[in-house]
């Protein structure tokens, strides 16, 4: 029972770390570079699907270069070659990677793994 609790705590802790990393990466590489939302902000990774949208009769505008909107009445823009479906694919990739890394971190017994590594390393030192 304690092993399940420890694994759950490790999973949650790593998921928090991965969410922070994904939020930073999303804002650094996509938000304002691949798309621009007039009513957007930071932490767009947390608000999946609300990246760009039509509003006030303005459809999403496809542009060759993203220039941040100056006014709320400007249309949301997305860079040529990208789509909302493409943004969803990147988000799903980020989220799936977070889950996989978190599960692997929770699954591995780090103390036993480090002990085995130390034994192997110590064994190689003796043999030499």
CA distance to 31, 64, 103, per residue, from 26 (Å): 6, 20, 22
The domain spans of the chain are 2-127
Chain segment 35-49, per-residue pLDDT in tens? 999 887 889 999 999
Q: Is the pLDDT of residue 53 over 80?
A: yes
- CA geometry: angle at 78 spanning 44 and 95, to 5°? 35
- pLDDT, tens digit, for every residue of 72-102? 888 999 999 999 999 999 999 999 999 999 9
Q: 102, 87, 83, 98: which is closest to 48 by C-alpha?
A: 87
Nearest to 66 by CA among 38, 43, 35, 40: 35
Q: Which has the higher per-residue pLDDT, 116 or 98? A: 98
């Amino acid at each position: 029972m304690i092993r399940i609790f420890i694994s759950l705590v490790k999973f949650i802790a790593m998921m928090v770390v991965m969410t922070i990393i994904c939020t930073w990466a999303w804002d650094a590489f996509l938000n304002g570079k691949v798309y621009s939302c007039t009513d957007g902000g930071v932490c767009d990774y947390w608000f999946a699907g609300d990246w760009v949208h039509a509003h006030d009769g303005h459809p999403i505008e496809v542009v060759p270069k993203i220039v941040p909107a100056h006014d709320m009445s400007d249309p949301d823009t997305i860079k040529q070659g990208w789509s909302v479906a493409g943004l969803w694919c990147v988000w799903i990739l980020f989220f799936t990677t977070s889950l996989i890394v978190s599960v692997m971190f929770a699954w591995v017994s780090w103390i036993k793994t480090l002990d085995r590594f130390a034994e192997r390393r110590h064994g190689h030192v003796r043999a030499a």
